[in-house]
């Protein structure tokens, strides 16, 4: 589970904070519209091997594709 919070949005980019299991220090993922790419700016404290950051990158791209950018959300999987 990832807790995601929209930190910043502009015409050029979107930045989401994320926190695995809702614990520890947040990480940051940025999406840039110009090249349709995501980059992990900072890995969250509890993100072992960067797997959670990768899931957030995919979720952010999906949100942009659907034109649905929630202020807060919980990303869950099983």
Q: Which of 49, 39, 34 is nearest to 16 (CA)?
A: 39
* pTM of the complete model beyond 0.85: yes
- pLDDT top residue among 77 and 16: 16
Measured in degrees and rounded to the nearest 5, phi and psi for residue 34 equal -55, -40
Helix (H, G, I), strand (E, B) or coil at 3: strand
- pLDDT band for position 78 (cuts 50, 70, 90): low
* More confident position, 70 or 22: 70
Q: How far is CA 17 from the centre of its chain?
A: 6
């Amino acid at each position: 589970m990832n807790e995601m919070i929209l930190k910043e949005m502009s015409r050029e980019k979107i930045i989401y904070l994320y926190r695995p299991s809702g614990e520890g220090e947040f990480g940051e993922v940025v999406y840039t519209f110009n090249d349709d790419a995501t980059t992990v700016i900072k890995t969250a404290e509890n993100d072992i091997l960067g797997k959670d950051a990768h899931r957030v990158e995919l979720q952010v791209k999906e949100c942009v594709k659907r034109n649905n950018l929630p202020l807060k959300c919980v990303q869950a999987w099983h």
